Amino acid sequence: MGMPLVGAAAKVMSSRGAFFVFGAVASPLLMKTLEPIGQASRTLLKGAIKSGIVAGQTVQGIITEAKAGISDIAAEAKADLNKVVEPAPAADVAVAATAAAVVASETAAPKSERAKT
């Protein structure tokens, strides 16, 4: 007895019109049923998007600070390259020459003293 009903129901459900009627009736019911789930999903999705925005802003801040640090180092390096090497004052050159002459004279003994030893 249950089989003919199942067969008839299968026949009705196989027609396109039946699917349209079923969809028209089921949609509002399904929407009312899923609305709380949809609101919770929306809240979760909104929270995830906010977290992504905050993470992006944090990464952007870190990159900006790193760029500033690298720019400072590059500016210092350029300044070092652009420095003009100042010549030593003449007095310092004279003192250095005198010191070198004294050292040279002390290390080089006269030939007469070398013969004695």
pLDDT tens string 75-89: 999 888 888 666 655
Residue numbers of the domain that contains 65? 10-109
Residue with tokens 């050292």: 103
Q: Is residue 62 over pLDDT 90?
A: yes
**Considering the domain boundaries, does residue 115 fall inside one?**
no
Sign of CA dihedral 107, 110, 115, 117: negative
| pTM of the predicted structure, to 2 decimals | 0.40
Q: Is residue 73 over pLDDT 90?
A: yes
**Considering the domain boundaries, does residue 102 fall inside one?**
yes
Q: Is residue 53 over pLDDT 70?
A: yes
Q: How many structural domains compose the chain?
A: 1
What does each C-alpha distance from 98 to 31, 88, 107, 108, 109 come to in angstroms? Answer: 102, 15, 14, 15, 18
Q: What are phi and psi of 85, to 5 degrees?
A: -75, 115
**Considering the domain boundaries, does residue 30 fall inside one?**
yes
Which pLDDT does position 115 carry in this prediction? 53
**Residues 13-23: tens digit of each pLDDT:** 566 666 667 77
Q: What are the helix (H) ranges across the chain?
A: 2-14, 16-82, 90-107, 111-116
**Considering the domain boundaries, does residue 46 fall inside one?**
yes
